[in-house]
Every structure is written in C-alpha cells, then in structure tokens.
C-alpha cells in the first residue's frame, strides 16, 4: 500500500462508456479510488452495491467514487447497468494503474498462479494526496468505513 500523505499517482483510464477519466478530474474534492478483482462476482458486487447504497451520503460529503479493475470496458458497462451503479468504473486492462497503487500482482486461486488486481481502497484528499488506505478490503460494510474517513478530509 502507498503511504498516507504521498501524492496519489496520476491516471487516465477509460470508463464504462469508453470515455477517459483522470484523477485530475476530481481535483479539489475527496475521491475514493477502489480496486476490485472482477466485475459481477459476488465480493465485487457486494462492494460496488455498498457504495451505490451510500451514494447520497457520498454526494452530501462532496466525494467522488471510482472503481478500477482490469476488466474490459464492455464488461464494466454491463456491470454498471445491471446494478445501477451511479459512479464510474474504470478499465485498467494491463494493471499499470493498479500496480502504481500497489494493488496489482501475483495471486493464487485453486492452485493456479496469475497476475490480478488486489481489493484495496484509497481515499485521495482534495489536495491530491493519499488521505487514508484500506488494504485487503472486506466488501461487507466497506463503503460505510470509507465514508467515515471521508468526513475527516472533506
């Protein structure tokens, strides 16, 4: 995980509609940058829907939310539509942005080793610096945990 108070790595990634989104788009406001392994899987759906369900509170706090995975844009579009997610999902197909946030690397499942996205979350403050980190996230209740941290930086 990156350290608190370091500058958040800049990025430009395509969202679910194929439109570029940059970290700089959120300058001056807190932004939750959450990394998740795979769209439309149980844990990732729980996590995304928890942010959706708390969306009014995030808006009231002036915070943005973006989810980043190595899924292709088309998969993100279907995931976002299926669960009526009000925030952008960003495609990082080669894992470069996730790696710059220490959220990509070797994983193991069912005896198979592969590279993939780790379930980590960062809160980037209005100044563009890391305000809080959440490693190895448990999707259940995560949005509420992050929202409490947003209150401290908004």
Give me the chain's average pLDDT, please.
Answer: 96
CB-based contact 46:37 (threshold 8 Å):
no
Angle CA(103)–CA(104)–CA(108) in degrees, nearest 5? 115
Among 144, 143, 149, residue whose Cα is nearest residue 34: 143
Task: Confirm whether 1 is domain-assigned.
Answer: no
Q: What is the pTM of this model?
A: 0.96
Q: What is the mean pLDDT of residues 67-92?
A: 98
Q: Judge whether 4 lies within some domain.
A: no
Instruction: Return the CATH number at 143.
Output: 3.40.30.10
The answer to whether residue 95 is domain-embedded is: yes
Q: Is the pLDDT of residue 154 over 90?
A: no
What does 33-80 look like in DSSP terms, one character per residue? Answer: EEE-S-TTSHHHHHHHHHHHHTHHHHHHTT-EEEEEES--HHHHHHHH
Q: How confident is the model at residue 109 (pLDDT cuts 50, 70, 90)?
A: confident
Q: Which is it for strands 31-35 and 121-124: parallel, antiparallel or unpaired?
A: antiparallel
Segment 13-55, tens digit of pLDDT: 999 999 999 999 999 999 999 999 999 999 999 999 999 999 9
Residue 2 resides in a domain = no
Per-residue pLDDT tens digits for 95-108? 999 999 999 999 88
Q: Which domain holds residue 23?
A: 12-151
d(CA 31, CA 26) in angstroms, rounded, equals: 7
Q: Is residue 104 part of a domain?
A: yes
Q: Is residue 23 part of a domain?
A: yes
Looking at the domain assignment, is residue 43 inside a domain? Answer: yes
Nearest alpha carbon to residue 26 among 140, 122, 139: 122
Tell me if residue 44 is catalytic: yes
Given 21, 44, 68, 132, the catalytic residue: 44
Average pLDDT for 113-127: 95
Q: What is the pLDDT of residue 107?
A: 87
Residue 5 domain flag: no
Domain count, the chain: 1
Q: How far apart are CA 13 and CA 11, in angstroms?
A: 6
- On the question of pLDDT at 71 being above 90, the answer is yes
Mean pLDDT, residues 54-69 taken together? 98
């Amino acid at each position: 995980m990156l350290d608190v108070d370091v500058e958040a790595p800049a990025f430009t990634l395509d969202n679910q509609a194929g439109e570029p989104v940059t970290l700089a788009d959120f300058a001056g406001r807190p932004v939750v940058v959450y990394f998740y392994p795979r769209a439309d899987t149980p844990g990732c759906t729980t996590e995304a829907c928890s942010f959706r369900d708390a969306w009014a509170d995030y808006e009231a706090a002036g915070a943005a939310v973006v989810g980043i995975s190595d899924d292709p844009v088309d998969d993100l579009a279907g995931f976002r539509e299926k669960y009526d997610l009000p925030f952008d999902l960003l495609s990082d197909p080669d894992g470069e942005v996730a790696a710059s946030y220490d959220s990509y690397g070797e994983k193991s499942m069912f005896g198979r080793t592969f590279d993939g996205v780790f379930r980590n979350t960062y809160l980037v403050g209005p100044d563009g610096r890391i305000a809080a980190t959440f490693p190895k996230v448990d999707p259940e209740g995560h949005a509420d945990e992050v929202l409490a941290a947003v209150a401290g930086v908004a």
